[in-house]
Chain A
Amino acid sequence: MFDFVNDYDLLGAFWTTVQLAVLSAVGSLIWGTALAAMRVGPVPLMRGFGTAYVNTVRNIPLTVIILFTSLGLNQTLGVSLGANDVESINFRLAVLGLILYTSSFVCEALRSGINTVPVGQAEAARALGLSFTQVLSNVVLPQAFRSSVVPMANVLIALIKNTTVAAAIGVAEAALLMKEMIENEAQLLLISTVIALGFVILTLPTGLILGWVGKKVAVKR
């Protein structure tokens, strides 16, 4: 019954999914933090840019963004992100699309963490005579990070599920393999269960562990 599984590179496909997720997570953490810094910072123009970026990108379907990286950036404008063969070009484009999209949610998760810190905390810290850097590093940011663990975990889980959209530009990850397997084998329920369980294994523990950590470190108010 499970014979046909050996004909396909199931582990390889999920490994691609994991790679997509990890690379995009690191990238969107960096770009999302930069965006969050702009959005909460004191410079009005940067604040405006951050807000505009988040509100624009959040409202475009990820599918449109990823398809655009392939059809628009690559095929029309000739952007190849330093890769030579089609496979790695598409992989890198998918990572780029995922980063551009996910970073707007990372930005919002971080901002919601900062918003939970009461202004009184910073005011008290300033009244004690702490400098700007001390206020940020000793009082505000530690509390903000602790309450953004749960929203960030949700973004990460959504990102893992969103990696399947890369199938739209032919990256050989789990959803594309599922499509291929279903076309060739008459084992619909079995194939779907295997793929579904793969994603459950990836997302459920992430949610449970990070949720537990989030509850544990959350500032009780």
Chain B
Amino acid sequence: MSSVLYDAQGPRAKRRNIIFTVVFVVAMAALLWWVFGTLNDKGQLEWVLWKPFFSGTEAWSTYIWPGLENTLKAAALAVVIALPLGAVLGIARLSDHVWVRVPATIVVEFFRSIPVLVLMIFGLALFAEYTNVSSDDRPLYAVVTGLVLYNASVLAEIVRSGILSLPKGQGEGAMAIGLRKGQVMRLILLPQAVTAMLPAIVSQLVVILKDTALGGAVLTFPELLASANTMSGYYGANVIASFTVVAVIYIALNFLLTSFASWLERRLRRAKKSTGAVLRADDVETADAGTGGKV
């Protein structure tokens, strides 16, 4: 194998690789041994603590599924509301009119530079003070509000760079055949931009899904993480076991989404009909120098 960093390996390099591998294996084995030993000392490997997840459905039906349902509900609501909002803001940022462009830019840059947790805490107090949403629903409303405010501005950037990623000739050609500005955007640019930015939107879903966990930890929103916390209390403080199960669920969900995003990206790059403009799934923020939000 040859890469930009090193050439195809000769016998000496191969021997060195074997030494590195052995050293690495020994180090990892020592680390694993230590972790295993600590877990064992604290009695965290007892079957009683792990049993609820493997035998019987009580843990799943009482804690995990309802929690997962809330996580997915908050994420889905946030996406559904944030997408149109983001599209409007993104298009507004490309407007020819200063009085549309500048406010949209300020809104997007402002909400992108604030932590989503701050927006959620703000949302919780806002609903408590100015609306009569019942206190049971308030955490959900607050989580969705925070996620929408933040992700609408991130999606606005995705929409903007999606439209900008199209070849100039598309817009110019549409103008040349006499379409109005709105028609150019609606009939020519947006439909192509949507395909170009699909992978980026799907991988933004991962960010949204991960951020719902904040609601559980800080706002008492009963999502997956919060219910895992309650669960570990119920099953005799099996923190290690229940966090492992929850982490595996998050990893599986997000891995599915990430794989779907990169599959979409590959597929769109192969497609012959399109202009070939595709926004990469993993780094929209590199398209401009503003405040990134993928992490």
Q: Interface on A for B, CB 8 Å cutoff?
A: 40-46, 49, 55-56, 58-64, 67-68, 71-72, 75-78, 102, 105, 108, 112, 114, 117-119, 121-122, 126, 132, 136, 140, 150-151, 153-155, 157-159, 161-165, 167-168, 174-175, 178-179, 182, 186, 188, 192, 195-196, 199-200, 203-204, 206-208, 210-212, 214-215
**B117–A62 contact, CB under 8 A?**
no
Residues of B within 8 A of A55 (CB): 255
Bound Cα distance A206, B295 (Å):
16
**A61–B213 contact, CB under 8 A?**
yes
CB of B32 closer than 8 Å to a CB of A? no
Residues of A within 8 A of B283 (CB): 112, 151, 154
Bound Cα distance A93, B25 (Å):
27
**B118–A196 contact, CB under 8 A?**
yes
**Which residues from 1 to 47 on chain B have a C-beta closer than 8 Å to any C-beta of chain A?**
1-7, 9, 13, 17, 20-21, 24-25, 28, 38-39, 42, 44
Residues of B within 8 A of A199 (CB): 113-115, 118
A to B CB contacts below 8 Å, 24 in the list:
A45-B24, A46-B20, A55-B255, A58-B254, A59-B206, A60-B210, A60-B251, A61-B225, A62-B213, A64-B247, A68-B247, A76-B237, A77-B38, A78-B42, A117-B4, A119-B3, A122-B3, A122-B5, A167-B117, A168-B218, A207-B289, A208-B289, A210-B289, A214-B289
Bound Cα distance A167, B120 (Å):
13
**B44–A114 contact, CB under 8 A?**
no
Interface of B is mostly: helix
**Which residues from 212 to 234 on chain B have a C-beta closer than 8 Å to any C-beta of chain A?**
212-214, 216-218, 225, 229, 232
Residues of B within 8 A of A158 (CB): 292-295
Residues of A within 8 A of B218 (CB): 167-168, 175, 179
Known pairs A64-B243, A203-B291; list 6 more (Cβ under 8 Å).
A61-B250, A121-B4, A126-B7, A179-B121, A182-B122, A204-B113
Given A61-B250, A62-B210, does the pair A77, B289 have CB atoms closer than 8 Å? Answer: no
Residue among A68, A71, A76, A178 having the largest count of chain B Cβ atoms under 10 Å: A76
Given A158-B293, A200-B110, A200-B113, does the pair A42, B118 have CB atoms closer than 8 Å? Answer: no
**A46–B24 contact, CB under 8 A?**
yes
Q: Identify which of B5, B122, B243 contacts A71 (C-beta below 8 A).
A: B243
Residues of B within 8 A of A140 (CB): 4-5
Which 7 A-B residue pairs are closest in the complex by CB-CB distance? A211-B289, A154-B292, A158-B295, A59-B254, A61-B213, A168-B217, A61-B210
Residues of B within 8 A of A45 (CB): 21, 24-25
Bound Cα distance A167, B118 (Å):
10
> Nearest Cβ in chain A — how far from B186, in angstroms?
32
Nearest residue, chain B, Cβ from A200: B113
Nearest residue, chain B, Cβ from A202: B113
**B250–A64 contact, CB under 8 A?**
yes
Given A62-B210, A102-B295, A155-B295, does the pair A68, B243 have CB atoms closer than 8 Å? Answer: yes
**A43–B24 contact, CB under 8 A?**
yes
Q: Identify which of B114, B212, B240 contacts A72 (C-beta below 8 A).
A: B240
Residues of B within 8 A of A211 (CB): 288-290
Residues of B within 8 A of A126 (CB): 7
**A64–B225 contact, CB under 8 A?**
yes
Bound Cα distance A200, B119 (Å):
13
Bound Cα distance A214, B28 (Å):
37
> Nearest Cβ in chain B — how far from A56, in angstroms?
6
Bound Cα distance A215, B258 (Å):
29
Q: Identify which of B7, B121, B288, B292 contacts A155 (C-beta below 8 A).
A: B292
Bound Cα distance A158, B210 (Å):
14
Residues of A within 8 A of B254 (CB): 58-59
**A153–B255 contact, CB under 8 A?**
no
> Nearest Cβ in chain B — how far from A131, in angstroms?
11
